[in-house]
Chains A and B, each alone.
Chain A
Amino acid sequence: MSQHRAPTTRAAAVVAASALLLTVSACSTPGVAADTPGVTDDTVTIGSHQPLTGPAAAGYSSISAATSAYFDYVNDNGGINGRSIEYLVKDDGYNPATTQTVVRELVQEDEVFAILNGLGTPTHTSVLDYLNQNGVPDLFVASGSTSWNQPEEYPMTFALNADYVVEGAALARYAADEHPDAVVCLLGQDDDFGAEFIEGAETVLGADGLAAVERYSVSNQDVTAQIGAMKAAGCEINLLATVNGFTALAVGTAAKLGWFPQWISSSSGGDYPTLVGFLGEDLAPQLLQGFTSTNYLPFGPDDEWSKLFREINDEYNAGAPFDGNTVYGMSVGYLFAEALAKAGESPTRESLLAAISSGELEGNGILPLAFGEDEHAAYTGVGITTVDQGVQDFIGVTYALEGESVEEVEAKPVPLAGDGIPKP
Chain B
Amino acid sequence: MTAPSFPTFASLNGAPRLTGTPRLLVTSVILTLVAIGGTFLLDPYRNYQLAVIAAYFCATAGLTMLVGLTGQLSLGHAALMAAGGYGYALTANASTDAGVDGVARFLVSLVGAVVVAGLAGLLLGLAAARLRGPYLAGLTLAVVIALPAVTSVFSGVFRGDQGLQIAYDGVPPFLRTLIAVEQWQAWVAILVTSVTVTVLAGLRRGRAGLRMRAVHGDETAARLSGVPAGRVKVFAFTMSSISAGVGGALLCFVTQSVSPGAYTLAFSLLLLVAVVIGGLGSIGGAALGAVVVVLLPWLIGTATAALELPADVEQRLSGNVSVLVFGLLLIVVTAVWPGGIAGALGRRMPRARDQVAAGTPVAPADAPPPAVPVTTSTSSVSHSIPTETER
Chain A residues close to B by CB (< 8 Å): 1, 3-4, 6-8, 10-12, 14-16, 18-20, 22-30, 52-53, 61, 65, 91, 93, 95-98, 100, 104-105, 108-109, 121-122, 125-126, 129-130, 133, 190-192, 215, 217-220
Contacts and interface: CB of A to CB of B under 8 A. Distances in A.
Given A3-B13, A28-B44, A28-B179, A129 B256 contact: yes
B31 A108 contact: no
Contacts of B46: 22-24
A190 B157 CA distance: 12
Interface string B22-47: 00000100110011001111111111
5 contacts: A96-B259, A133-B170, A190-B152, A215-B155, A217-B155
Query: Chain B: interface secondary structure?
Result: helix
Contacts of B349: 10
B35 A15 contact: yes
Contact of A15 (B163, B178, B361): B361
A220 B259 contact: no
B168 A129 contact: yes
| 5 nearest A-B pairs in the assembled complex, by CB-CB distance | A97-B262, A122-B162, A190-B160, A217-B152, A11-B358
B30 A8 contact: yes
Contact of B257 (A8, A10, A11, A100): A100
A219 B256 CA distance: 21
Interface in B370-390: none
B41 A91 contact: no
B290 to A, nearest CB: 13
Contacts of B45: 104-105, 108-109
B228 interface: no
B357 interface: yes
A244 to B, nearest CB: 16
Contacts of A100: 255, 257
A14 B180 contact: no
Contacts of A129: 165, 168, 256
Contacts of A11: 27, 30-31, 34, 352, 355, 357-358
B259 A30 contact: no
Given A7-B354, A91-B315, A219-B261, A18 B39 contact: no
B318 A96 contact: no
A15 to B, nearest CB: 5
A101 to B, nearest CB: 8
A321 to B, nearest CB: 14
B260 interface: yes
Given A28-B44, A28-B182, A52-B315, 10 more contacts: A10-B349, A22-B41, A25-B43, A26-B44, A27-B41, A27-B42, A96-B161, A97-B259, A100-B257, A126-B165
Contacts of B48: 104, 108
B14 to A, nearest CB: 9
A220 B152 contact: yes
Nearest to A20: B41
B168 A219 contact: no
A4 B10 contact: yes
Contact of A126 (B17, B163, B355): B163
B165 A28 contact: no
A150 B170 CA distance: 21
Contacts of B354: 7
Contact of B260 (A93, A130, A219): A219
Nearest to B180: A28
Given A93-B319, A191-B160, A15 B352 contact: no
Nearest to A98: B261
A29 B178 contact: yes
Contact of A14 (B47, B161, B358): B358
Contacts of B179: 28-30
B88 to A, nearest CB: 15
Contacts of A121: 162
B359 interface: yes
Contacts of B30: 8, 11-12
A91 B40 contact: no
Interface in B42-71: 42-48
A115 to B, nearest CB: 15
A15 B155 CA distance: 43
Given A122-B163, A129-B168, A217-B160, A15 B261 contact: no
A16 B34 contact: yes
A10 B46 CA distance: 23
Contact of A190 (B34, B155, B168, B257): B155
Most buried by A among B27, B35, B155, B349: B155
